[in-house]
Structure 1
Amino acid sequence: MASRPKGLKVTDFVERPCFGRNGREIRVRANFFEVTAVPEANIHHYDIAITPEVPPSLNRKIYKQFEFINCKNNNILPVYDGRKNIFTSSPLPFGEAASFEVNLQEDDGSTSSKRPPRTFKIKFKKVNEINMEELQRFLDGKSQLNSNILTGIMALDVLIRHQPSMKYVTVGRSFYTPEGSRALSGGVEVWQGYYQSARPTPGKMMINIDLSATAFHESGSLINVVLKLLGKRSIDDLRRGINERERVKLDKELKLLKIRVIHRGESNSKRSFKISKISPLSAQQTKFDDADGHKTDVLTYFQKTYNKHLTYPHLPCVIVKKDISLPMEICEVIEGQRQIRKLNEKQTADMIKFTCQQPHIRANKIKAGLEILNYRNNDQMTQFNMKVSNEMALVQARVLPTPTINYHTSSKDASFTPREGSWNLRDKKVAEGATLRSWSVLVFGTEPDFPMQSVQNFVRELVIVCSDTGMNIPTKTPPIIHKNAHSDIGESLKQAWIRAGNAAKSQPQLILCILPNTGVQLYGSIKCAGDTIIGVVTQCIQSKHMFQAKKQYCANVCLKINVKLGGMNSFLTPKQNPFLAEKPSILMGADVSHPSPGSNRPSIAALCASMDSKAVRYAAAIRRQDSRTEIIADLANMVKDMLKAFYKNCGRKPERILFYRDGVSEGQFAQVLEGEISAVKAACRDLDQTYSPTITFVVVQKRHHARFFPVDKKDSDRTGNCLPGTLVEKMVVHPVEFDFYLQSQAGLQGTCRPTHYHVLYDQNSFTPDSLQTLSYNLCYIYARCTRAVSLVPPVYYAHIVCSRARFHAHGDNFSEDSSVEGEVTFGKVLPELLKVMYFM
């Protein structure tokens, strides 16, 4: 690690104390490319304002026109971010500030003089000169991050993105090309894209390059798009027109889509419009006053004016600005428009297939992307004197030792070390089996479709497997009730709850629900009623699994039921978990989930905390807060709830808190440090003025683009991914702060995404080895599967609790697609459930 002057403060967060040593050293390739030459001279930063305001894609066209007129003779090649910032390698010739007018021909290709070019005003103002030496001092660990350095990194980001963004469709830090696109269902296609970002790392800048993919509307004939949206096979299926339900669907899906008209020949084919709605009337029924003031319909108008005979006059028109009605058949959807609505299940599955690529294929595609990014022959980068290596970084890594997992002592395999991150329950019994005495089975479907015999067979198999796995089930034949899936779900659950209590003469513990389909509606209603109205644990089963009744499936269900009822599936020995064993310590995991785009629903914050010395039992706290607010508003009270619950369970206050926080971006670290860490401290003081446990606060990030590829075959698993336990803390991490990447899971399909852990605050004096090993070992005791998972359980559980809380909206269809919503009332999880892992 680089030496620096003593006492120099280089970060507000935690500095890397040293490097870890645990595990076997290996080498991996990382999708980071070294910046071999960073601009040395000062970079000139200008603010640019374009009026009237338009989207970035149009800003770039306006800027291109300006550059063509004003910069071609000055040999200056500025780079532009599409919004407010321009960077140059030498000063622009017009001084500190200047204004220009740019005329841009409307995008309609019209040869007539009816549509004059639009005039835009551009104002330039010099903001700053960026001292690039200061950036190098920061990379060397000799200077703290400041606004000059941040702007320097941004300038490099804009520099590498300038050329692609002028050529391709740009979304955030990625750009997309239609080459190699694949159609999804419903008039949507997925495009391949490339993500690139300038990243500060120890001693040097790196460019992080990755593949990305996003959904676009299919371009071309609007009628073909309509056929796909409505799931029709051919135009013959539309011969009778469309019904009102279909029209409403089209209205929703096509609103604001850009189209061009093609009825006036090639020279006028670029005239573009935005769809505002789909008319309730067909082209032959839509009437309006023509230029002479006579009533006419769209069919007749096109015949007279353009000698165009409409082939599909029975189809509705699309209505564009000023209530202009256009027949569908003269419209084409313009290429390169993003689909921003949530994809349906089929589209999502197809998207995953497209993006799921084996590590070596992904690595090769990333390398191929360098040709498209074209850093070598980039005039702007040459002028700034910036060069990027075309080789992926070769990084030192370590594979951490696999922990030993412990089951009940009567198991044949009571303690064992898994291979490659997964194992099964054969010859194993759960560490502590719960007792299931009072329960019932609620079948959502009629008896001919769900025969009593099949339900009984499944229940018998489930009871056998649960008993063999170590649970105690005195009631082996619970009452079975059939109900219609469209009935009042809350009422059905209530009846099942009463039947369970009456049959066992004790408080009902569980309702096993058998579902006819995978639809979210029924599942959500069951969870809402069970969690917030009745206060009973529910376990849902899909009917296809009931009819098959496989032992492996039943074993997986058993793991969930056991922890929901307070049992313990597996654990680590105190030796493998010294942080928890040495003194009373609590693990906390927090997450915030936000509604889908366009929805005004609240964001949901969840906090999960360990309730025992083995960190296998957890309790949860949930709060709703302003939509899209990331910082947890009521964290102090949530932490208090968890500390009280821990004290009730253990009889002692935790002396140490390890808090894992999911979903925070780098730009929010300072807010989290200020807001959330102080909230945790305030919660402790509120409970007792003298109570001051030591706190460590770690941000956990999954939304990043770092990927690692094994160099030697012996360091890869059977999917070609790095082995579980692969840890990277050098070369591609923060220049000075305490962070690391850990890939704890085994590869199932595609390329594994490591989890990024970043320590913001540490009063527990963690060494890299102690925090890395603890975080990795915890991934082996996630309660609902026999696999190491990709992130620490406290955070994983908080994430599940957030998702579950979305179902607690009363009388709701659990859809967040609508942008116009009434007030939604959310039920509260009943207190008796919050003490157990009801969410599993």
Structure 2
Amino acid sequence: MSSLKRAGNTLETDNGPKLADPPDVSPTLEDGATAGTVAVFDAPIHASAPTGSGSGDTTNQSGRRSGVDEIEPRYDPVELSIPPGNQITTPVELVQKLQKINDADATYPIRDDLRPSTTEVLTNHFEITLEPKIVFYEYKIEGIPSDKPKRLQKVFVDNIVNRVGWLVRNKDSFAHDSTGTIIAWKSLPIPTKVGHKEAGTNPEDEGRIWELLDLKHGEDYLHIDFRFVRTVNITGLLRYISTDPAYRDWDSNVWNLSPVVNALNIVISKCFIGDIVRVGANKFFVERSAATLGEIYGRQSRSLCTMRGYSYTIKPGMGKVLLNVNAKTSAFYNPLTVSEYLLDRNTFSNDYDRGRHLKGVRVYIMYTRGKDDANSPLDKDQARIKTIFDVSKLSCDKQTFKLMIKDEKTKQITGTEIRTVREHLQKNYSLSLSFPHLNAINVGSRTYPCWFAPEFLQILPRQIFRSTVPDNLTDSMLTVACKMPKENRLLIEAEGLGKFSLDLQSPPRSLKCPIRIDPRMARIHCHRLTNPLISYLNGKSATIDSATARWNLRSCKFLDTPLRKPQAHGRGYGQFHYSDLRYQVLFTRDLQNGNDLLDEYTTNIREQIGHCGVGRAFEMSWSALSGTTEADIYNALQSVVNDPTGVAHVVILITRSKNQDLYSKFKYYTDRIFGLQSIYLTEDANMRGPRLNKSGIAQYMANVMMKMNLKMGGINHSVHALRAQMATTLVIGADVTHPGPGSVSGTPSISAIVGSVGDTGGKFLGTLGLQKRRQEIIDGEHFTETIYRCVKNWYYHWTPRVLPLNILFYRDGVADTQYKTVLDDEVPHIKAGWTKFLRELKVNGVAVAPNTEVRITAVIVTKRHNTRFFPIKDEDTMKTNENCKPGTLVDNTVTSPYFQDFFLQSHNGLKGTARSAHYFVIKNDMNLSTTQLQDFTHNLCHTYVRATLGVSYASPAYYADRLCERGRCYLRKFFSPSSEDRKSYKEQKDKFEDQARIERGGLLPSERPLDYKKTKQDYADEKADRKKAEEWSDESVMAEIQTVWDADNTDQNTIARRDRLLQTMYWM
């Protein structure tokens, strides 16, 4: 490309160094918005942005807000009538079409049937109709650095689109995203004078490239090209949704749907109107919905508020193109001064966390810094916007920096002066600080800090809070977020869809793009499965109450309790003899009701152990923890295992309220170090105001007995209809949990795999494993070994011994883009594990029938999705929460046009709008019909071992999820570090970065010439230092984690206890 700076087409951005007081001219130019908001270089940030005078005056020196638009925390519900649903019927000939497809050609099993409709529901999908004969063209602006933040990329794209004449003239005919993809609904008329670069001579030749312009970026120029990518395959999409068996690319793993869906999402994104905040590609929030976050005790957060928002995406359904819109709620920073934020004690519990959550927040400098010219570059909006790097350990009257002294005439540097932030503001700008004790704010970098006083920095509005809200605000957040189904539906239709620019005349269409959106939620057919019959001891059954979706344990005893033995002589409990269930009680010293609580709890524990048939209660002792440190817990448990009268079957810890840190330590030491079964109870669970609710303790302990029986290796209940299938089928559940944004860098992911034992569905044994950080696919060698153990456990349960003929695999938490990867990289290890055990049997001389093979069916279970269903008729509605009744099943319209998938709500949502689980079959060697799999899964959801109700998704996947959570407890120091731990690991990484700089011979700013300006190579070196430091830090953290993970007690008695523990559902 020519390096000519084309007249009128050269756009300039600055990307200079961040110095102590001169401007930071990196182009962070948006109006406080997150990635996706349109911004233009020369548009003011705020109409009333504070300017002050040339001498540095500011509108308000007290640290109060000054001039920046503020989000007023308020709740303003939409009051509009709900339109009737849009009736969508799946054509009856669909199944006939599917039968014409050769199943052997398919990546996944083809749908074999649809459930007959028993009622209807509404779903948060809206029918999309494209303008007749519409053609979409995809173009790409190339040359924008892909390693830049999305926010900066969008600044580049917006300026190109707003400055290049022929793009400006055609803006009504295309939409674009933040990375340079343009979707046009006409072939863009590119002028002949625009330089053609390569690939084709026709404007519609795919891959043709034009030279567009050179974009000034710092000291360099970016060479920007314009490429025609493709004509978007809308015809293919329409044939796909019509379940056309003759369509060559009907299999979505042959034909990639993503380019078409992404293109339509970009087009839809052009349709927004009103006061919205764009976050990411397909999500927005409504400013007028801002609401205050507050504690249960009435203290309100000043720093954070919530906003209602909506996610949206195009979805190919059965016979229809659909727009899925779902409600979201997120926390946002209030536009305070940073000093107000730091003085807020109602949001974060300590100074370190308060400062940590400021990192990455964009702020606006509230005073003028230019002295010579009212139009100084220092005081343009671009230079006023900064990003906080860190909060100093020192206050503004103690934090110093080196100021370069210049000659007034020659502007040459004549020396330096050490100043505090406070002194600098007073001497240079005649500004005095109201809060000199507050810590200084660094908006530069670690090696080149740039210090400001917090009271003169304004947090820009509309910035999302990306971490989990503090524990003290969780209840308030849930109260705002959890809406009853009717209100949720109203908001989605009236407010969410209302932000799309629609002409509601018939037929409705967008005013900004050639797409028609029906404003009514889709009304579709569904089927309701019947409640299963629950099995208990001696053939007794429990019936599910349709009003509550629960059953009662009254007059029922657990299906199997290992401490119950047949009575040969004398009298026992009926025809059985019960062995002692030995337990010890530990408690913290802060119990509000002290001995009264302990008396009530232990009395009810004894009674319920006998009533539920778990065993014969044998209480060994009570003892108070001397404290809550790891050493206190270790010493207490050491006393338990050293008890001269014998080791307890179960250790019970009672605390005043749930303390996740104490809980995690307790479970780590009981599970991993001492091999003890454990139960954690709280006093708060039975408090009603200031008083102990003694009448509720018996029911509370009856629920605890379900845990107790599991820890003894027992089985609580079953569903009779499952047992024939499970007698020949090993059921597997698997999940992977990943470290969140608040975890220590280097923390790995944790996998959990569980396998059934017996035919009840009431007992699973599990295995944990560590794997590479953020890796979703389970390590193959570990997977094979775990499945081998699952098959072995299943085999030795039966008398006579028998191998499972089938393995049914429920895989939790996998995105649809990874279905094929699970099929290719995980499922083969199921067969490998089974085969390994088969070989072992043969080596040991066990006779195995020739040609013995296992049949594997694999199902992906997804709970975190955006599809919701709303009941229409009263008889389909739960009276207590307005949700659909449990058993609601949808297998049409919003499901795959070809493959076996369905949505099943097997539970009664307790709060908010219930979320159905989505099941997608990726392999079906067992040849289960869709109906059989749906019924089996629904029944399995009612075998969940710790509840007398159906749960929200298949219990094996749920158990794997819970086992992952137990793994997180073991590594809580890394997954959810305390402020002290987080600070320690940060300091360690900083030391590694210094070491990397020293090894390459790099210099600190204080070691360079006074007038030195950072070069491009300096930036690259610092980036490499940070990368190397991160690698070293991650290796160090992983070594520490491995030590914690493998820190098993080597005492032989402990090893025996641990082996027994692993033969139970100890994590439940």
The reply to whether TM is greater than 0.5 is yes
Give yes or no for the alignment of 1:836 onto 2:1064: yes
1:696-707 pair list within 5 angstroms: 696-707=857-868
Match of 2:326? 210
Match of 1:397? 526
Give yes or no for the alignment of 1:642 onto 2:790: yes
Tell me, in whole angstroms, the C-alpha distance in 2 between the residues paired with 1:216 and 1:339.
5
Give yes or no for the alignment of 1:252 onto 2:394: no
* Structure 1 length-normalised TM: 0.89
Give the counterpart of 2:151 among 33, 43, 57: 57
Q: Closer, same or farther in 2 for the Cα pair 1:586/1:38, shift >3 Å?
A: farther
Tell me if the contact between 1:45 and 1:86 (Cα under 8 Å) persists in the aligned partners: yes
Match of 1:87? 183
Tell me if the contact between 1:263 and 1:269 (Cα under 8 Å) persists in the aligned partners: no
Tell me, in whole angstroms, the C-alpha distance in 1 between the residues paired with 2:978 and 2:777.
22
Match of 2:108? 13
Match of 1:302? 425
Give the counterpart of 1:428 among 552, 556, 559: 556
**AA matched with 1:100:** L
Give yes or no for the alignment of 1:686 onto 2:800: no
Give yes or no for the alignment of 1:72 onto 2:72: no
Tell me if the contact between 2:735 and 2:811 (Cα under 8 Å) persists in the aligned partners: yes
* Residue 57 of structure 1, CA deviation: 2.8
**AA matched with 2:421:** V
Tell me if the contact between 1:447 and 1:482 (Cα under 8 Å) persists in the aligned partners: no
Q: Closer, same or farther in 2 for the Cα pair 1:404/1:248, shift >3 Å?
A: closer
Tell me if the contact between 1:440 and 1:496 (Cα under 8 Å) persists in the aligned partners: no
**AA matched with 1:554:** M
Give yes or no for the alignment of 1:371 onto 2:524: no
Match of 2:732? 588
Tell me, in whole angstroms, the C-alpha distance in 2 between the residues paired with 1:444 and 1:213.
38
Structure 1 range deviating more: 186-195 or 387-396: 186-195
Match of 2:125? 32
Q: Closer, same or farther in 2 for the Cα pair 1:172/1:800, shift >3 Å?
A: farther
Structure 1 range deviating more: 630-639 or 165-174: 165-174
**AA matched with 1:588:** I
Tell me, in whole angstroms, the C-alpha distance in 2 between the residues paired with 1:387 and 1:8.
35
Give yes or no for the alignment of 1:572 onto 2:719: yes
Match of 1:753? 915
Tell me if the contact between 2:944 and 2:951 (Cα under 8 Å) persists in the aligned partners: yes
Structure 1 range deviating more: 116-125 or 642-651: 116-125
Tell me if the contact between 1:32 and 1:209 (Cα under 8 Å) persists in the aligned partners: yes
Match of 1:526? 666
* Residue 247 of structure 1, CA deviation: 5.3
1:89-128 pair list within 5 angstroms: 89-94=185-190, 95=203, 96-101=208-213, 121-128=223-230
State how many pairs are aligned.
Answer: 806
* Residue 296 of structure 1, CA deviation: 4.7
Of the two, which has the highest radius of gyration? 2
* Residue 73 of structure 1, CA deviation: 2.4
**SS at structure 1 position matched to 2:538:** coil
Match of 2:1045? 827
Identical counterparts, % of pairs: 24
1:441-840 pair list within 5 angstroms: 441-446=584-589, 451-452=594-595, 454-475=597-618, 477-484=619-626, 485-486=628-629, 487-499=631-643, 502-503=644-645, 505=646, 508-545=648-685, 548=693, 550-573=697-720, 575=721, 577-580=723-726, 583-597=727-741, 599-633=745-779, 634-650=782-798, 651-688=801-838, 690-718=851-879, 719-809=881-971, 815=977, 818=982, 820=986, 822=1037, 823-825=1040-1042, 826-827=1044-1045, 830-840=1058-1068
* Residue 804 of structure 1, CA deviation: 0.2
| Residue-by-residue CA offset, 1:74-119 (whole Å, 9 max, x unaligned) | 4663222212522222333334212334769x9xxxxxxxxx9997
| Residue-by-residue CA offset, 1:140-176 (whole Å, 9 max, x unaligned) | 2222224454311221122112444996322342122
**Runs (5+) with no aligned partner, structure 1:** 107-115, 233-244
**AA matched with 2:1063:** K
Q: Closer, same or farther in 2 for the Cα pair 1:170/1:147, shift >3 Å?
A: farther
**AA matched with 2:837:** L
Tell me, in whole angstroms, the C-alpha distance in 2 between the residues paired with 1:38 and 1:351.
41
Tell me if the contact between 1:810 and 1:824 (Cα under 8 Å) persists in the aligned partners: no
Q: Closer, same or farther in 2 for the Cα pair 1:453/1:165, shift >3 Å?
A: same
1:199-348 pair list within 5 angstroms: 199-228=315-344, 248-264=352-368, 268=379, 270=381, 271-287=384-400, 288-289=402-403, 291-292=405-406, 293=416, 296-321=419-444, 322-348=448-474
Structure 1 range deviating more: 671-680 or 437-446: 437-446
* Residue 246 of structure 1, CA deviation: 5.7
| Residue-by-residue CA offset, 1:412-446 (whole Å, 9 max, x unaligned) | xx442432421332333222334362533232334
| Residue-by-residue CA offset, 1:290-332 (whole Å, 9 max, x unaligned) | 6455555433443443343332233332122243321121110
Tell me if the contact between 2:173 and 2:186 (Cα under 8 Å) persists in the aligned partners: no
Match of 1:194? 310
Q: Closer, same or farther in 2 for the Cα pair 1:551/1:648, shift >3 Å?
A: same
| Residue-by-residue CA offset, 1:386-415 (whole Å, 9 max, x unaligned) | 21111100010111111111223386xx44
Q: Closer, same or farther in 2 for the Cα pair 1:470/1:102, shift >3 Å?
A: farther
Tell me if the contact between 2:907 and 2:950 (Cα under 8 Å) persists in the aligned partners: yes
| Residue-by-residue CA offset, 1:521-572 (whole Å, 9 max, x unaligned) | 2111111111111112101111345765511111111111111212222112
Tell me, in whole angstroms, the C-alpha distance in 1 between the residues paired with 2:341 and 2:590.
42
Tell me, in whole angstroms, the C-alpha distance in 2 between the residues paired with 1:443 and 1:295.
58
Structure 1 range deviating more: 737-746 or 691-700: 691-700
| Residue-by-residue CA offset, 1:691-741 (whole Å, 9 max, x unaligned) | 421111110000111100111111100110000000001111111110000
**SS at structure 2 position matched to 1:835:** coil
Tell me if the contact between 1:437 and 1:509 (Cα under 8 Å) persists in the aligned partners: no
Tell me, in whole angstroms, the C-alpha distance in 2 between the residues paired with 1:297 and 1:675.
59
Q: Closer, same or farther in 2 for the Cα pair 1:384/1:374, shift >3 Å?
A: closer
* Residue 126 of structure 1, CA deviation: 1.9
Tell me if the contact between 2:584 and 2:651 (Cα under 8 Å) persists in the aligned partners: yes
Match of 1:416? 543
Tell me, in whole angstroms, the C-alpha distance in 1 between the residues paired with 2:304 and 2:281.
20
**Runs (5+) with no aligned partner, structure 2:** 1-92, 191-202, 245-249, 294-300, 407-415, 564-578, 687-691, 840-850, 987-1032, 1049-1057
Q: Closer, same or farther in 2 for the Cα pair 1:251/1:16, shift >3 Å?
A: same
**SS at structure 2 position matched to 1:391:** coil
Q: Closer, same or farther in 2 for the Cα pair 1:231/1:348, shift >3 Å?
A: closer
Q: Closer, same or farther in 2 for the Cα pair 1:554/1:714, shift >3 Å?
A: same
**SS at structure 2 position matched to 1:254:** coil
* Residue 685 of structure 1, CA deviation: 2.0
Tell me if the contact between 1:636 and 1:682 (Cα under 8 Å) persists in the aligned partners: yes
Tell me, in whole angstroms, the C-alpha distance in 2 between the residues paired with 1:627 and 1:429.
44
* Structure 2 length-normalised TM: 0.71
Tell me if the contact between 1:52 and 1:121 (Cα under 8 Å) persists in the aligned partners: no
Give yes or no for the alignment of 1:181 onto 2:290: yes
* Residue 801 of structure 1, CA deviation: 0.5
Q: Closer, same or farther in 2 for the Cα pair 1:541/1:341, shift >3 Å?
A: same
Structure 1 range deviating more: 286-295 or 41-50: 286-295
Tell me if the contact between 2:501 and 2:511 (Cα under 8 Å) persists in the aligned partners: no
| Residue-by-residue CA offset, 1:322-361 (whole Å, 9 max, x unaligned) | 4332112111011122222333222332221111000000
Q: Closer, same or farther in 2 for the Cα pair 1:441/1:231, shift >3 Å?
A: same
Tell me if the contact between 2:273 and 2:501 (Cα under 8 Å) persists in the aligned partners: no
